Amino acid sequence: MAPEVQDSRRLEAFGTVAVVAVADPSGGRLTRAVAAVDRTVAEFDRACSRFRDDSELTALNASAGTAVRVGPVLLEAVSAALRAARLTGGDVDPTVGEALIALGYDRDFAVLERSAPQYSRAVASIPGWRTVQLDPGGSMVRTAPGVILDLGATAKALAADRAAARAFAAVGCGVLVSFGGDLAMAGAAPSDGWRVRVTDDHRAGLDAPGQWIALRSGGLATSSVSVRRWRTRSGVAHHLVDPSTGLPAGGMWRTASVAAASCLDANIASTAAIIRGALAVGWLSELGLPSRLVSVDGMVRHLAGWPAEGDDLPVVAVSGAGAREAGSGLGAGAQEAGSAPAGGAQGADSGSGVGAREAGSGSAGGAQEARA
């Protein structure tokens, strides 16, 4: 395994390993960037964790239909989750919490994956994101009785965006922050860009099938059904729930990676792509979001200007000449989401680039290592 570069550091965050990297490590910038990221992680964990008894989200989920005053972090996280639902027509829905619990995901994943096979049950239906009422002016959130919110699809990506911005403000140079498959950048990138390894699973070695790309701004997210899996009495489950069924998403993609103007927008799109299956190809292409979709049989599609060079897996189709603004349908919302990738993904040779910073980008929910 290649050694870590001196301008990046790993730390624990959200049940995974985070990576913080700076374009200029002089003057203690890396230490200050890490401190800024640590503060952001602590704030989001206290506000948004479904597994902490003392979190604001736990209190909201126990409110039984009563309006609850929340802090600014949870208010923004719930607003982001509702926006994701609106932009995707409900394919990314924060009210899947009860379905995840029914599947056995009722504890921190590090504990769950070591547990005996879980009993699972089906839920009658997903309540739906319209059962959540938000009052931004009063900092109030109300859910229908019995609704359990799970913000995992968006809160970690939002945290990556906020952490990168805070770290950049603290150090004044380019910053990359990665939480599992959620990666955000702020400030000027290194001259060769941030070099990122995209795979099904970040935990795999550098010899695992994947692709090196270079990023300069915005965000990148990878969603996958290959990780965050656990055993149930009726088979293997995973964390990406289809709101139309209340069950783990099936379909044609095992992994979806998307570049966008922010990590949050990339995560919204990558999660929705897994849910939408074959329909994701036309949707992502129409939105102009550079994407890499890996089918369950290991075939790859590159969409909307995702770099074609250097993919270890067989590429069956390349679509779109590059990112552009979205048109009709979801387009108005996607433009709000920042459909162009703000610097975008650029091709990168499979060897190491001179001066490039390297970061593995595996599937959501896991570690990413900075390498040289």
pTM score of the predicted model: 0.82
Instruction: Please identify, in words, the CATH class of the domain defined by 49-143.
Output: mainly alpha
**Are 5 and 210 a contacting pair, CB within 8 Å?**
no
**Are 19 and 177 a contacting pair, CB within 8 Å?**
yes
pLDDT at 28: 95
pLDDT tens figures, 247-272: 676 778 889 999 999 999 999 999 99
Report the alpha-carbon distance of residue 86 to residue 278 in Å, rounded. 20
**Are 224 and 213 a contacting pair, CB within 8 Å?**
no
Nearest 5°: the CA angle 302, 19, 312 is 30
Report the alpha-carbon distance of residue 224 to residue 96 in Å, rounded. 17
Sequence letter at residue 351? G
**Residue with the two structure tokens 């208010």:** 75
Alpha helices (H) in 107-224, listed in sequence order:
109-112, 155-171
- For the record, the structure tokens of 172 come out as 């004044």
Q: Coil, strand or helix: which one is 88?
A: coil
pLDDT tens figures, 51-104: 888 999 999 999 999 999 999 999 999 999 999 999 999 999 999 888 877 766
pLDDT tens figures, 111-161: 545 554 454 556 557 899 999 999 999 999 999 999 999 998 799 999 999
**Are 197 and 210 a contacting pair, CB within 8 Å?**
yes
Selection from 372, 14, 364 nearest residue 183 by Cα: 364
Name the CA dihedral angle for 7, 21, 312, 266, rounded to a multiple of 10 degrees. Answer: -170
Q: Coil, strand or helix: which one is 5?
A: coil
**Are 186 and 218 a contacting pair, CB within 8 Å?**
no
pLDDT tens figures, 312-336: 999 987 776 444 333 323 232 333 3
